[in-house]
Each structure stands twice: as structure tokens, then as C-alpha cells.
Structure 1
Amino acid sequence: MKKIALITGATSGIGEATANLLAENNFNLILTGRREDRLSDLKEKIQHESGSEVLTLKFDIRNSAETEQAINSLPDNWKNIDVLINNAGLAVGFSSIADGATDDWGRMIDTNIKGLLYITRLVSQQMVKRGEGHIVNISSIAGRETYPMGNVYCATKHAVQSLTKGLRLDFLKHGLKVSSVCPGAVDTEFALVRYKGNEERAREVYKGYTPLNAEDVAETILFVVTRPKHVNIDDILVMPTDQAYSRDFNRNET
């Protein structure tokens, strides 16, 4: 029997790549996001290319009521989620605290922290009842370090790291696995969202070196969720060869 994995933020980047890879590796999928057209396209693609079943849920993870309604709407044969991948997250803006936009702060806090909590609370309840399950939080190098102008985003990812440790302690007696995957620079929509659609500025982030791609991180996630029952990968950091720490890059300036 195939395991069921729920992936938040599945409509692009790491979430989409992880969905494709898990479908190729014997998982049925619950895919969530706010862009219904992308969810539908991804569902059609995966079901056409693999034997995996896909169920999609369109809702805003920042909204507790929407999240609860979506999870409660799952048919009985989809309720026993084996793996929860908390991938939904974003950075918005790049400024000092004095120049920061409070709307940007709220968007990051509501998505990266509160959204993760809303869905984890709901999904973990049935995992605890069954005495098994795996929660994977997609964090960041920004959860290990703090860099200039990244203040609130870094704070949210530090919170993800702390929450991962807290979940590990809370669920230890219930037999659940809890993991954190922390990527360095990944060439996805991340920079475009951070710079609010400024394509030129977003391209500068990845200029002069080879960043990770979404598939690299998806392969790391696959490794984490396919270890034997007695093995838990607590925390894993995956970086481009050309990156050491958050701000140090081997860039080709020519």
C-alpha cells in the first residue's frame, strides 16, 4: 500500500519538485496551495506520468478556519496521512527594521510560522492516534544564521528550527518522526517573491555561481522520508558547492 504525503505550497519550486519525485517513489499525494490552476495542472501531470493518486486542496494556510475546513474535508481514505511536508513559506522585502513594511512582516509570520502550526496541529492529531507519522519542516540556512536586511524572515526560520525541536520532544513518546531540511540558495520563485516581482533584482541573487535547484532539495526530502522506521533525520543542511554560510559565495564575476 502506498503511503500518503501531504505537501503544502505545492504549486511551484521545492513543493512541486517534491510532489513529482514522491509520486515517482510510491507515494500518493495531497497537494495544497492557493493557485487552483497550478494544482489542477500538477495533479493531471502526476497522474498521467505515474500510478500515484493525487488529491488537491485549495486554501490559504495563513487562515486557521480555512485550513481546518480543508483538512476536515478529506475523505476517509485520505485521512491517514503518513508524511506532512511543511513547505509553504516565503520571504517578502529586504530592508532594515526601521524601513520595514509591517504588512510584509505579517505575511511572513502568518505563513512561515502560524500556517505551519495550523496544519501541523490538525495532521499530527491523527498521527498521534495511530502512533506513527513523519513531519518534515522546510526551513533554511536563514534558520541557522541571521544576515543583514533579512531580520524578520530569518526570525521566522529560526522559529521553524525551534518548533521542529519542540515537535520532536512532544511526539517522542508517540513514535512520530520530526525533521528539518534547511536549504541554502535555491533557484526558485523565492527571490522573485522577496523582491515583489522585480525580475532583474531577483536574477542578481543567483548571478555568477550555480545555486541549488528545486529537484536537489526534493531529493534530500525523499532521502529523509524513506529512512527505516528506527532512523530519524533530525536536521539536515544542504548547500550549493559555491556557497558557504548565508552570505559567502564563490561568484564568477567575469
Structure 2
Amino acid sequence: MAKQHRILTGQVAAITGAARGIGRATAQAFLREGMKVAIGDLDFATAQQTAKEVGHGTVAFQLDVTQRASVKDFLDGVESQLGPVDVLVNNAGIMQVGHTIWEEDDATTQRMIDINVNGVMFGVKEVVPRMLSRGRGHVVNIASTAGKGGFPGGGTYCGTKHYVVGMSEALRAELRGTGIEVSCVMPVVVNTELAAGLQDTRGVKLIQPEDVANEIVSALKEARFDVFVPRSVAGITKVMNLLPRGGRESLSRALKADKVLIELDAGKRAAYELRASHSDPALEAPDETKQLTP
């Protein structure tokens, strides 16, 4: 007998970094399932505009995932307006790439750790106790296929996504039998601002934010942990894991995966890189010496 899919209608979902991109697409996908949605973003004005555009009672909140107090306030606000959080999607993240590890400035490194690592960790620490008290819930952590390997030009980014994968696996084991599910989403390069100026790999092409959102919905319905987008990447990953290191590296070169984050069009990425840099309130102007790597 086929496993019965879970009904999502009426569930409350909170999504971080949801003013645009994957977060916005996920909000829209959840709304189609009849869920109640809250979005949080550092860019509050855009979050408010997104909430207005997607409609259906979506609410927006100011959110800085690098501050645990802000994450707590976000979840408190969601529960006050919509009810207990059934689903948390830890989506907020930045990807500043194109530099070797030793060339990347310290502010860039720290900012990716603050957002991609601490942002997910704070989300988990704040939402899991709430879910445990109710005996139900689902945590969705957005990682990347970069969390399954290391790619030139993206050492820090890959490291932060390795953290999300490893922490998600540990969290799943810790929550076994509690009624709380965990999903780890690992997409290839997605057609958002983050992917501006990046190359395609051979055999795995650029995907759309809606592709990721649809797989997140599927994971919620099926209580599935490993969420590769597209699903074909799961097969590639299995093959890679069976090969010795030399074989994995040769296959990566054959697929041009080793070029994606290092051989990019800096001009096409300039707007995103600047916006990512300005996600740090301490950075006042793009020409200051303390700016993140441009």
C-alpha cells in the first residue's frame, strides 16, 4: 500500500529570508496547499511587498537571522498572529564566491558563517523546544549540493553548507520518535540572484526557485529527509560516494563542477555581491576598506 501523504492545509509555516528567490517561491507553494505563511527578512520593505503580492493573509516580519533574539521575536510574532509554528524553513543565506580561500577577506568569511551557519542554528534552537512541547512539527533546512563536496572559489560557502547537512543529520537522529520531522534540501545552482554569473555544469542545468519549492512541499507531505533538487542529483551523489577520491575529483572535473564557483562573470554578479555585502549593517559604503569581498 502506498504511503499516505500528509495534509498541509491549515498548517502554519515560517520562512526565513523569504522576501525573494527560493523563500518567496516556497511561500507561494505553501499558500497553494492552504497553509498559513509568515515570511521574515532583513529587507523588511521587500518582505512587506512580497507578503502583499502573494496575498492570502501572508504576514511579514523584520528578521536578522544572525541575532538569536531576532529569530525568537520572529517566531513569537508568527505564533501571535497565525498560531503555533508547524513548519520552519531555514532558508536565509548568502553565497559570496569567486575567490580562493586565502584571498577572501575576513568580513566575507564571517558574514557567511553568521548567516548560513548561525542563522540555521538559531532557527533550530528557537523552534524545536516549541515543537517538542506540542509533539509535532517539521524543520526544513536549506543546504546545497555544495554541502556534499568542496568546490574551488567557494570554500567558505561549501563549508557552511556542509554544516547545514551535518547538523540536519544529527538533528534528525536527536528527534527520532518525538513526532518532529527534519528535511535537508540540497539544490544545484538555482536561477536566483545568488546564481548570477555562474556557469552550468555538464549534465545538471540551472533550476528554478519553483522547482525547489515544489520539492519542499513534497518533502513535507512524505516526511522525507534527503531532498535533492533535481532528484537526479541523488544518483550522481551515490556514484560519487562509491568512488575513491581521485575518481570523485576526475568526475567533478569532467562535469565542470570544479569551475562553477571560480570561473564566473564578476560583472553579472556585481549587483548581488554588493547587496550581500550590505546585509551587514556595519558596512556603510561599498568603497570602505571593511567591506565584504566584492
The aligned counterpart of 1:221 is 216
Q: Post-superposition shift, 1:124?
A: 1.3
The aligned counterpart of 2:260 is none
Q: How far apart in 2 are the matches of 1:170 and 1:64?
A: 21
Which range moved further: 109-118 or 61-70? 61-70
Q: How large is the Cα RMSD of the aligned pairs? A: 2.3
Q: How far apart in 1 are the matches of 2:104 and 2:180?
A: 39
Task: Find the residue that maps to 2:182 and give its secondary structure.
Answer: strand
Task: Find the residue that maps to 2:224 and give its secondary structure.
Answer: coil
- Answer yes or no: is 1:129 the counterpart of 2:129: no
State whether residues 187 and 206 of structure 1, in contact with CA within 8 Å, keep that contact through their aligned partners in structure 2: no
Deviations, residues 172-225 of structure 1 (Å, cap 9, x unaligned): 132100011100111101134xxxxxxxxx2x5359984101111111111111
- Answer yes or no: is 1:236 the counterpart of 2:240: no
Task: Find the residue that maps to 1:223 and give its secondary structure.
Answer: helix
Pick one of 156, 159, 164 that aligns with 1:155.
159
The aligned counterpart of 1:139 is 143
- Answer yes or no: is 1:164 the counterpart of 2:168: yes
The aligned counterpart of 1:11 is 19
Rg comparison, structure with higher value = 2
Q: How far apart in 1 are the matches of 2:77 and 2:213?
A: 27
State whether residues 172 and 181 of structure 2, in contact with CA within 8 Å, keep that contact through their aligned partners in structure 1: yes
Deviations, residues 20-70 of structure 1 (Å, cap 9, x unaligned): 1111111100101011222112211222xxxx3212111211122222233
Q: Which amino acid aligns with 1:114?
A: N
Pick one of 109, 113, 127 that aligns with 1:109.
113
State whether residues 93 and 104 of structure 1, in contact with CA within 8 Å, keep that contact through their aligned partners in structure 2: no
Q: How far apart in 2 are the matches of 1:241 and 1:205?
A: 19
Q: How far apart in 2 are the matches of 1:65 and 1:108?
A: 19
Deviations, residues 122-154 of structure 1 (Å, cap 9, x unaligned): 111110000000001111010111111211111
Q: Which amino acid aligns with 1:150?
A: G
The aligned counterpart of 1:199 is none
Q: Percent identity?
A: 29
State whether residues 8 and 87 of structure 1, in contact with CA within 8 Å, keep that contact through their aligned partners in structure 2: yes
Task: Find the residue that maps to 1:44 and give its secondary structure.
Answer: helix
Corresponding pairs, count: 231
The aligned counterpart of 1:83 is 87
Structure 2: 5+ residue runs without aligned partners? Answer: 1-8, 238-251, 258-294
Q: Which amino acid aligns with 2:199?
A: V
Q: Post-superposition shift, 1:73?
A: 3.6
Task: Find the residue that maps to 2:17 and give its secondary structure.
Answer: coil
State whether residues 182 and 225 of structure 2, in contact with CA within 8 Å, keep that contact through their aligned partners in structure 1: yes
State whether residues 66 and 114 of structure 2, in contact with CA within 8 Å, keep that contact through their aligned partners in structure 1: yes
Q: Post-superposition shift, 1:118?
A: 0.9
Structure 1: 5+ residue runs without aligned partners? Answer: 193-201
Q: How far apart in 1 are the matches of 2:145 and 2:205?
A: 17
- Answer yes or no: is 1:211 the counterpart of 2:206: yes
Alpha-carbon distance change, 172 to 241 in structure 1, aligned in 2, over 3 angstroms: closer
Q: Which amino acid aligns with 1:32?
A: G
- How do residues 4-43 of structure 1 correspond to structure 2 at under 5 angstroms? 4-43=12-51
Normalised by the length of structure 1, the TM-score is: 0.83
Q: How far apart in 2 are the matches of 1:75 and 1:137?
A: 20
The aligned counterpart of 1:96 is 100
The aligned counterpart of 2:184 is 180
Q: How far apart in 1 are the matches of 2:205 and 2:119?
A: 31
